[in-house]
Amino acid sequence: MSERDAEPDAGPDPAAEYALGVMDGAERRAVERRMRQDGPFAARVAWWQERLAPLNSQIAPENPPAEVWQRVEADLDRIARVRDGARDQRIESLARAARRGVSPIWRTLAVASSLLAVASLGAIAILAPGPADNPAAIGNETLTARLTSDTGQTLFTVVLDLQARTATLVPVSTIDDGSRVPELWLLPPGGAAPRSLGLLSEGRPLRLVLQGVSDETAGSSLAISLEPQGGSPTGAPTGPVVATGALDRI
Amino acid sequence: MRRGAPKTADDRREMLVQRMRDVADGDRAALHEVYEMTSAKLFGICLRILQDRPEAEDVLQDIFVTVWARASDFDASRASPITWLSTIARNRAIDRLRQIGRRGEADWGDAPEMVAETPDALGQLEDEEDRQRLAACLDDLDERAREAIRSAFFGGMTYQELASRGEMPLGTIKSIIRRGLMRLKGCLSQ
């Protein structure tokens, strides 16, 4: 009996197979979700990554064109604007938009979103005004804007229909936080229980009717939290709040 | 007191660790230094996997924006900086490849750009002992397993792609690689 015949048949080893790079995209996402939830498994992936990494020394280096660094710098500038300098410009540009009829709900949500964030998601913010990033007018009654993470990833496209007084949040990319999904909440004033406005997930646009908010609701806040698939099991936010914003009278 | 460019591999590694800490503190000049030290290596990795210069350039850009945002995740006590960076590069390049699909018949074969024995200057930042141990353990595998594992690693190829390329059933290539990984694990754990 040869040595190889004596070996037991090897079963799957997702940690090794992930590190080796033989998985398809869906399998890779599943492994990454498991890594976030299963510390010992994540350690096994890291073990394999470190053990295989010396193979990289056999790949010949290649100088990238200089413009790649310039593009990195442009991204860093954009991140810095979102983080530090953009708030005032943003308020100003949104105030201009508001004078054209944009609802305060949008203004406050956007501004507050950039201020409160968890590390896993990064700051959500509207990008600073720029040729491509400005809320763009489509005709007279529709405005669009992008909600972007601090790594430049567009999370939601927001379409404001001024005539119908609706804001539609269209998820662009999945928020990469394991199996959790963002859920939008209305937080009534005075500490009453939050009310779910729906999940911002699975590629489905979420439409908010702005005119449905009564005087009573003025003073409420909006919040986005990360919840298990299907939404909060308890009917109240259970995960980290990644964005909040005050809801003014509309 | 040492000034100027660090001379030894240990010095370079220590400098890279320090620069990564500076990047975590928001030091942009430090990120540029990390880029200067590592971008050719990381671009080589992206290019090897993607076989497409514009795609590799986009991924490289993405890698350094990621490094800027996530440098605080780097823990020098757990991994060498070049391992950490190379792993990000590999993962980003593979994810991009899965996203766009493989275009045409890339040259997966003999990998002429690969140099078999001598690691480059940056490769020497890896622990030489780890490198030799991996080489010895790979040598221990039978040739089919060794070649399949190398092709998978260097080309970022899926089981399905490896099966088509080797003109063998999917189950066969999975079995070859899984057995090889199991043996490799045993050898590397000693």
Report the share of chain A in percent with pLDDT over 70.
36
| Partner-chain contact B134 A24, CB within 8 Å | no
Q: What is the per-residue pLDDT for B128?
A: 78
Round to whole Å and give the CA distance between B187 and A191: 60
- The residue type at A4: R
Residue-by-residue pLDDT tens, chain B, 190 positions: 444 555 677 888 899 999 999 999 989 999 999 999 999 999 999 999 999 999 999 899 889 988 887 888 888 888 889 999 999 999 989 988 987 777 544 444 444 344 434 445 555 555 678 889 999 999 999 999 999 999 999 999 999 999 998 899 999 999 999 999 999 999 999 8
Is residue A98 scored above 70 in pLDDT? no
Please provide the size of chain A in residues: 250
* Chain A residues with CB-CB distance to B32 below 8 A: 69
H/E stretch holding A119: none
* B124·A150 Cβ contact <8 A: no
- What confidence tier does A172 reach under pLDDT thresholds 50, 70, 90? low
Residue B69 to residue B162: CA distance in whole angstroms: 35
More confident residue, A70 or A120: A70
Radius of gyration in angstroms for the set of CA atoms belonging to chain B, rounded to a whole number: 18
pLDDT on residue A166: 60
d(CA B162, nearest CA chain A) in Å? 9
Q: Does B164 lie at the interface with A, CB-CB under 8 angstroms?
A: no
pLDDT band at A117 (very low <50, low <70, confident <90, very high): very low
What is the predicted pLDDT for the residue at A201? 55
pTM beyond 0.95, yes or no: no
* Structure confidence at residue A223 as a pLDDT band (50, 70, 90): low
A236, A188 contact by CB (below 8 A): no
Least confident of A121-130, A225-234, B112-121, B155-164: A121-130
Tell me if B7-104 shares its fold with B127-190.
no
CATH 3.40.50.150 fits B7-104, yes or no: no
Q: Which residues of chain A from 28 to 67 reach within 8 Å of chain B, CB to CB?
A: 28, 46, 49-65, 67
A71 close contact with B: CB closer than 8 A: yes
The span from the CA of A110 to the CA of A117, in Å, is 12
Mean pLDDT, chain A, integer = 62
Provide, as residue numbers in chain A, all residues whose Cβ is less than 8 Å from the Cβ of B98: 24-25, 28
pLDDT at A220 over 60: no
Cβ distance of B162 and A7 shorter than 8 Å: no
Task: Provide the b/e sequence for B142-162 (b: ≥16 CB within 10 Å).
Answer: eebbbbbbbbbbbbbbbbebb
Residue A159 corresponds to which amino acid?
V
Question: Amino acid letter at A201?
Answer: S
Task: Parse chain B into domains and list their residue ranges.
Answer: 7-104, 127-190
Mutation pick from B52, B87, B188 vs chain A, by most beta carbons of A within 10 Å, is: B87
Would an 8 Å CB–CB cutoff place A22 in contact with chain B?
yes
Contact B175 A10 (CB under 8 A): yes
Give the distance from CA B180 to its chain's centroid: 19
Q: What is the pLDDT of residue A174?
A: 55
| pLDDT band, residue A149 (cuts 50/70/90) | very low
**CB-based contacts of B15: which residues, under 8 Å, 6+ apart?**
B6, B37
Q: Which residues of B touch A64 (CB under 8 A)?
A: 39-40, 43, 56-57, 60
Q: Is B77 on the interface with A (CB under 8 A)?
A: no
ipTM for the whole predicted complex goes beyond 0.90: no
Q: Structure tokens of A214?
A: 């009564």
pLDDT at A183 (0 to 100): 75
pLDDT tens digits, residue range A54-83?
999 889 999 999 999 998 888 777 666 544
Residue B95 sits at the chain A interface (C-beta within 8 Å): yes
Residue in A closest to B132 by C-alpha: A54
Contact B57 A64 (CB under 8 A): yes
Say whether B44 and A79 touch across the interface (CB within 8 A): no
DSSP A38: -
Smallest CA–CA distance, residue B97 to chain A, in Å, is 9
A221-227, strands of its sheet edge to edge = A195-199, A181-187, A221-227, A241-246
Name which residue leads in pLDDT, A234 or A23: A23
Sequence-distant (≥ 6) Cβ neighbours of residue B20 within 8 angstroms? B30, B34, B71, B74, B76, B81, B84
How much is the pLDDT for A123? 24
Residues of A in contact with B134 (CB under 8 A): 51-52, 54-55
The verdict on a CB contact (< 8 Å) between B123 and A21 is: no
User: What is the rounded average pLDDT of the residues A84-89?
Assistant: 41
Domain B127-190 has CATH 3.55.40.20: no
* Domain spans, chain A: 12-58, 67-246
Instruction: Please give the residue that has the higher pLDDT: either B174 or A219.
Output: B174
Q: Which residue has the higher pLDDT, A199 or A165?
A: A199
Query: Crossing angle of helices B53-70/A67-80, nearest 10°?
Result: 40
